[in-house]
Chain A
Amino acid sequence: QKEVEQNSGPLSVPEGAIASLNCTYSDRGSQSFFWYRQYSGKSPELIMSIYSNGDKEDGRFTAQLNKASQYVSLLIRDSQPSDSATYLCAVNNFNKFYFGSGTKLNVKP
């Protein structure tokens, strides 16, 4: 069983729609949760970090954490073609980071 699981996609949404990206993790002791965006040929860029249950909003992005269900999600409102990228979920446990394999998002104009 992988530490962090993501649907590889691709997830296709029309421009202006809400994109919903999901991630599950296996270790209940995980403490910190992150979403990264990676454009093709580039390194990952941190979008959101979340540490406690509930929602955290930053502009068009909302991260949701449910520790009981071991589930993290990222919502992107008003999706733009420039949001097309691979989104990586990362989980931290005692200075050990685990990355999911990423979900490819395509936002169609």
Chain B
Amino acid sequence: GAVVSQHPSRVICKSGTSVKIECRSLDFQATTMFWYRQFPKQSLMLMATSNEGSKATYEQGVEKDKFLINHASLTLSTLTVTSAHPEDSSFYICSARFPGLAGGSNEQFFGPGTRLTVL
């Protein structure tokens, strides 16, 4: 399968600081990337859909000014958690839509995730 990397894998920060998470598609170009959040023993929650060269589409209830998403190239999307608070502590996972040989694939490949702990 296609490879998606995510950095950092783990971050601990103080309340009020901002944290940037990078998501890269390593062996394919991804016009669409997705950002998810997962709390312990809960299902994936889609936060936003990130399209290269345009503004991200946020899901209902997700604050776009708090979770800044930038999809600057076909292989990189970043999520910045601004003014992080303890309730933002979670497992953040990105994924990239794999275009396939003819561009018709709808498969998503996930990065390994970033565990954020806000003290």
Assembly CA distance A35 to B1 (angstroms): 14
Task: Establish whether residues B44 and A44, one from each chain, have CB atoms under 8 Å apart when the complex forms.
Answer: yes
Q: Judging by beta carbons under 8 Å apart, are A92 and B106 in contact?
A: yes
| A2 nearest CB across to chain B (Å) | 10
A34 part of interface (Cβ distance < 8 Å):
yes
If A97-B34, A97-B108 are given as contacts, then 17 extra A-B residue pairs at C-beta distance below 8 Å, sorted by A number, are A32-B106, A34-B107, A34-B108, A43-B112, A44-B44, A44-B110, A46-B1, A46-B107, A46-B108, A46-B109, A49-B107, A90-B108, A95-B32, A95-B106, A96-B49, A99-B46, A100-B43
Interface size of A by CB at 8 A reads: 21
Which of under 10, 10 to 19, 20 to 34, or 35 or more describes the interface residues of B?
10 to 19
Tally A-B pairs: CB < 8 A: 45
**Chain B, 62-119, CB within 8 A of any chain A CB:** 91, 93, 97, 106-113
Interface string of A17-50 (1 = CB under 8 A from B): 0000000000000011010100001111110010
The winner among B42, B44, B107, B110 for most chain A CB atoms within 10 A is B44
Min CB–CB distance B116 → chain A (angstroms):
14
> Which of A43, A49, A100 is close to B110, meaning CB atoms less than 8 Å apart?
A43
